[in-house]
Amino acid sequence: MMRGKLWVRLAPFLSKRYVSSSSSPSCSAIQPWLFVGLGNPGEKYQSTRHNVGFDMIDAFADSQNISLTKNHFKALFGMVDGVPVLLAKPQTYINLSGESAGALAAYYKLPLHRVVVAYDDTDLPCGVLRLQPKGGYGRHNGLKSVIYHFRKNREFGRLRIGIGRPPGQMDPKAFVLQKFNKTGRERIDSAIKEGADILKMVVSKGLTEAARVANVDQKYKHLVSHDQQLL
């Protein structure tokens, strides 16, 4: 019953190539992807390190001419015309991101291997990306919330966006809420464009193959010690 309702809601956004003419609609539609970017809503937080997950979703949406205008499950909501992809920027504050991500995945009955969460990561140099099929949450409370609302299941995709480590004794909480300097912003903007291409590859090739290809390309980026200290 729920699969049938899902197909009805997504049918206008599914191209014919995803539907078998010999099967019933409720069984033949491909499962959509859900891409979630973590960040804080409001002008105050725009362009900060903590909002690069939002930036990633915006870049992917722009590349596909998607307008993120619908508000659903505490998120801005959009679809790729002709490709089954749901995009979300949770409008809770970042530490409550799971309230939105969990509700979306549950409502659309999505298996977690069809979910990718994009977020800032201080364990990667500024501008370096990593795509992974599963993992923990490290020190990221937004990702911790997502895992909690996924019933503590950690087997969902992550697109980690490196922002570098805070310098010296700087409070990490203050660091992630600051904006990048010119060099850092340029590297992040470049990485965001690469990340949008990586998400396209996820749709076309699947998470495992996209991770294999993307992570090789990212492996040796910015191997300079001071990149970890970018302000």
Catalytic residues: 50
Side chain identity at 98, as an amino acid letter?
G
Residue 8 tokens, joined? 């009805």
d(CA 135, CA 130): 12
Residue 76 DSSP one-character state: E
Strands 115-121, 157-162: pairing is parallel
Residue 205 tokens, joined? 């090739």
d(CA 135, CA 67): 31
User: What does residue 86 show for φ and ψ, rounded to 5 degrees?
Assistant: -105, 135
d(CA 18, CA 230): 44
Angle at 114 between CA 214 and CA 157, to 5 degrees: 45
